[in-house]
Amino acid sequence: MAVNISITLNPGLYLKDPQQSELGKRIIKHSILLIDELGFELFNFKKLAEEMKSTEASIYRYFENKHLLLTYLVSWYWEWLNYMMQIKTFNIEDPKRKLEIIIHTFVSISEENPSIDYVNESSLHNVVIAESTKVYHTKSVDEENIKGFFLNYKEIVSSVAEVILEIKPEFPYPHALASNLYEMTNNHFYFADHLPRLTDISKKGLPSEEVEKMLLFFISKMLA
């Protein structure tokens, strides 16, 4: 069942909000699938236009370049993840339980999203795992940071850091731990698929359960 939802993102990411038109939603839908299939390096607007049976000019009416399109997609994911974190921890008073729920949300978000007709959650999750660091590991990161492009990621980290300090108020590195928990989630999914000697997570079985178990192990030691 499709869910009618619109996530508000920084208007600096786009020229025209793609969520407000059928063509824009098709751009979101097909760009996620194509980046997942080809990788960001081989992806371009010409190939996207061919996939959509549209024109490059129509895509450029929405996005200035493919970097901003990728940033938009990753920001959409961050905003959705933050929303799901808030929903799942609402009315949970025990901070330890709250952090466990957040970690579970990190590893299972692609499985738990309701179906949004123009977003393939599994493919978007793949894109985030493989490509999201390219959003902010760039020469333009400082300029884009001033424009507020990464606020939704910062909100995730701030929310998790607050929970960490609820558990252990004297913990000296709450934001570093919060960002590492998120990044470790994505990195070890990626390593399990492509660089298995960099992780202890196996592709066999259920990697999400293994990653969750690993993260819970680290927080149990660091926040004891």
pLDDT digits (tens, 9 = 90+) for 169-213: 999 999 999 999 999 999 999 999 999 999 999 877 678 899 999
Q: Is the model's pLDDT at 35 over the cut of 60?
A: yes
Indicate whether this model's pTM tops 0.85.
yes
Our measurement of the distance from residue 138's CA atom to the centroid of its chain's CA atoms, rounded to an integer in Å, reads 17
pLDDT at 141: 98
pLDDT at 156: 98
pLDDT at 184: 96
The residue ranking higher by pLDDT, 7 or 92, is 92
Fill in the DSSP letter of residue 138. Answer: S
127-154: average pLDDT: 97
Hey, what's the torsion of the CAs at 118, 121, 124, 128, to 10 degrees?
150
Query: Letter for the amino acid at 5?
Result: I
Give the per-residue SS3 of 43-75: CCHHHHHHHHCCCHHHHHCCCCCHHHHHHHHHH
7-22: average pLDDT: 95
Q: In this prediction, what percent of the chain has a pLDDT beyond 70?
A: 95
- Asked if 52 and 30 touch (Cβ cutoff 8 Å), the reply is yes
State the angle between helix axes of 174-194 and 121-131 in degrees (0 to 180), rounded to the nearest 10. 100
- Cβ-defined contacts of 81-84 (< 8 Å, 24+): 81/105, 81/106, 81/109, 81/156, 82/152, 82/155, 82/156, 82/159, 83/7, 84/109, 84/112, 84/113
pLDDT at 110: 79
Q: Which residues pair with 116 in a beta bridge?
A: 119
| Domain range annotation of the chain | 70-222
- Asked if 24 and 17 touch (Cβ cutoff 8 Å), the reply is yes
106-132: average pLDDT: 86
For the stretch 67-92, pLDDT in tens is: 999 999 999 999 999 999 999 999 99
The residue ranking higher by pLDDT, 57 or 208, is 57
pLDDT at 1: 43
Q: 131 by DSSP, 3-state: which? A: helix
Query: Letter for the amino acid at 12?
Result: G
Q: 25 by DSSP, 3-state: which? A: helix
Q: Is the model's pLDDT at 116 over the cut of 90?
A: no
Please give the mean pLDDT across all residues of the chain.
Answer: 93
* The domain over range 70-222 is classified in CATH as 1.10.357.10: yes
> Whose structure tokens read 């200035």?
64
